[in-house]
Amino acid sequence: MYSDLTNNMQSNFRIDDSDALSRSALDPLQIDDGVEVRLGMEYTFTEAKVPFSLRAGLWQDPEHTVRFQGTPSLDSGDAVANAVLFSTGNGNELHTSIGFGWAFEKVQIDAAFDASDRNQTISMSGVVRF
């Protein structure tokens, strides 16, 4: 639950916790909960001398950034600053991924590429069986 991240949030810029105005400036900072929907498939060439797998997938990464929700009170400079700093979000991201893997007798090697509008990730892993 992304929204739990803003529960009991504290500012590092307050001198003490008795400043009710500063505490109330943090209340509009919220994160929406989200659901990651994933779809993937894998085909393994089991008849090959060394089994080889190809993988592909799609997944939606919901926006999980802190955003200011509401209208800031002009009585609080903290609220106005938070409204400016946290006024935009990036929205949901659709990721596509491709990957492959080999399963040797004592070693397994896997690699994948994941891409979205803002990020590209390459990951590799290896397993050695004793």
Instruction: Output the DSSP codes for 21-70.
Output: HHHHHHTTEE-------EEEEEEEETTSSS-EEEEEEEEEE-----EE-S
pLDDT in tens, 46-62: 998 999 999 999 999 88
- Assess whether pLDDT exceeds 90 at residue 113: yes
Is it the case that residue 19 has pLDDT exceeding 60?
no
Instruction: Tokens 């069986």: give the residue.
Output: 129
The rounded mean pLDDT for the chain is 80
Q: Does pTM surpass 0.75?
A: no
For the chain, the domains span 2-128
Lowest mean pLDDT among 14-18, 32-36, 92-96, 122-126: 14-18
In a 13 Å sphere around the CA of 100, the CA atoms on its Cβ side amount to 5
Is residue 101 helix, strand or coil? strand
Q: What integer pLDDT is reported at residue 91 of this predicted model?
A: 75
Confidence band, pLDDT 50/70/90 cuts, at residue 86: low
At 97 the three-state DSSP class reads strand
The structure tokens 């400079």 sit at 77
Q: If you average pLDDT over residues 16-43, what whole number do you get?
A: 74
At residue 99, the 3 state secondary structure works out as strand
Q: Which two tokens stand for residue 19?
A: 């400043």
Give, as one character, the DSSP assignment of residue 49: S
